[in-house]
Amino acid sequence: MHVHRLAEGAAVIEVNGEVDLYTAPRLAEIAEARIRSTIGMVIIDLGPTTFLAVSGLRTLHHLQLLARVHQVEFYVDPGESRPVRRLLEILPLPCARPGMVASLGLSRLPSPRGTGN
């Protein structure tokens, strides 16, 4: 997971790989820290995600509720991830906004410093 903070007071959390029972708590920890901060918008970018378990979906729902309490805009962008899109078709989230990252001009997020990518 990589966090990108935008000048507009938004954070994009890019999730690579799988979101399952093992990794969902880490996603929750990272996102909750942003939601509880002074940031006004948190976007979860699931474009690079290869698998989204129901435990990951539950985590996203919890984050959505937490963001509402803290008056933070919260969005989930499935990107082009087929597994994520498939699960969101069966169990939709109101905060899902396909193309959200791209609409903010973030279709190519920079790699974190020191990764060499």
pLDDT per position as a tens digit, 64-77: 999 999 999 999 99
Phi, psi (rounded to 5 degrees) for 90: -80, -45
* All residues at 6 or more sequence positions from 104 whose CB lies less than 8 Å from its CB, including other chains: 6, 10, 12, 43
- The partner residues of 74 in beta bridges, in order of sequence, read 42
Size of the chain in residues: 117
> What is the residue whose two structure tokens read 């905060």?
95
100: tokens are: 């959200």
Which pTM does this prediction carry? 0.84
Other C-beta atoms closer than 10 Å to the C-beta of 29 total 10
pLDDT band at 105 (very low <50, low <70, confident <90, very high): low
